């Protein structure tokens, strides 16, 4: 479990001054599959993840579109607080048991007033998220199914990949339905494409974990989508 000194948003605040912020953070616990923020709802709390991971998503025409995942140390809801719009731009669901700090909008804005570095960090975070969303839109709009799935695997590799003998293990379990929702295709389509990739020796799947077996060929499939591979990092 992370503590307040490990939160990137507060990284430039002197350690001794973080003690003044700590009482403003209220600990909250959420069970797996609990949705603790709903798209278009009006609320102004900000959350900072301490443990677990969550998905950020929207519902369009009855279909779920996954915008991103967030992990310990990351902040949720800062965009609404900074812009003054209390309508939530997306829903947030716990993918596993989650412990988070909750802080109200007024306290968060007071922290920003006192420590301008927090606002700068928040803008950096928001810009990075826009970059990720921009790439996702490119996948969903301009790529065929094979290229969408290849790019998704490359994104997962850059964020969760670990060397594992002759392969690269993507050290996160994501079911086929969730993978499909990340690039706007059906569960059936992504299952077929992953099976094709296995038959072609590009990947292997063991106990719901994806292993990249031919990284070079996957990279070649994605060359026209992302010219700067390092930007795949979330």
Tell me: do 85 and 168 sit in the same domain.
no
Q: Are residues 99 and 147 in the same domain?
A: no
pLDDT digits (tens), the chain, 234 positions: 999 999 999 999 999 999 999 999 999 999 999 999 999 999 989 999 999 999 999 998 888 999 999 999 999 999 999 998 889 999 999 999 999 999 999 999 999 999 999 999 999 999 999 988 888 888 888 899 999 999 999 999 999 999 999 999 999 989 999 999 999 999 999 999 999 999 999 999 998 899 999 999 999 998 777 667 777 888
Tens digits of per-residue pLDDT, 25-38? 999 999 999 999 99
Q: How far is 211 from 220, CA to CA, in rounded Å? A: 17
Q: Are residues 126 and 202 in the same domain?
A: no
Residue range of the domain that includes 201 = 143-231
DSSP SS3 for 13: coil
Count up the domains in the chain and report the number.
Answer: 2
Q: Please tell me the total number of residues recorded for the chain in this structure.
A: 234
160 and 79 in a common domain:
no
Cα–Cα distance, 129 to 57 (Å, whole number): 13
Residue 210 shares a structural domain with residue 103: no
């Amino acid at each position: 479990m992370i503590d307040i000194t490990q939160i990137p948003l507060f990284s430039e605040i002197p350690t001794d001054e973080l003690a003044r912020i700590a009482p403003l953070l209220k600990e909250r616990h959420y069970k797996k599959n609990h949705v603790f923020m709903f798209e278009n709802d009006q609320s102004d709390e900000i959350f900072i993840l301490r443990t677990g991971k969550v998905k950020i998503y929207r519902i369009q025409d009855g279909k779920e579109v996954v915008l991103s995942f967030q992990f310990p140390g990351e902040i949720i809801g800062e965009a609404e607080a900074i812009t003054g719009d209390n309508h939530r731009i997306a829903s947030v669901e716990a993918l596993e048991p989650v412990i988070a700090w909750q802080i109200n909008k007024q306290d968060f804005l007071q922290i920003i007033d006192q420590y301008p570095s927090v606002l700068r960090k928040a803008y950096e975070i928001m810009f990075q998220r826009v970059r990720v969303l921009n790439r996702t839109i490119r996948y969903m709009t301009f790529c065929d199914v094979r290229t969408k799935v290849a790019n998704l695997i490359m994104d997962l590799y850059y964020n969760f990949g670990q060397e594992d003998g002759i392969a690269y293990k993507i050290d996160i379990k994501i079911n086929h339905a969730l993978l499909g929702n990340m690039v706007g295709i059906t569960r059936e389509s992504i299952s077929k494409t992953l099976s094709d990739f296995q038959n072609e020796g590009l990947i292997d799947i063991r106990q719901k974990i994806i292993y990249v077996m031919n990284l070079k060929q996957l990279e070649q499939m994605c060359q026209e989508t992302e010219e700067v591979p390092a930007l795949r990092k979330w």
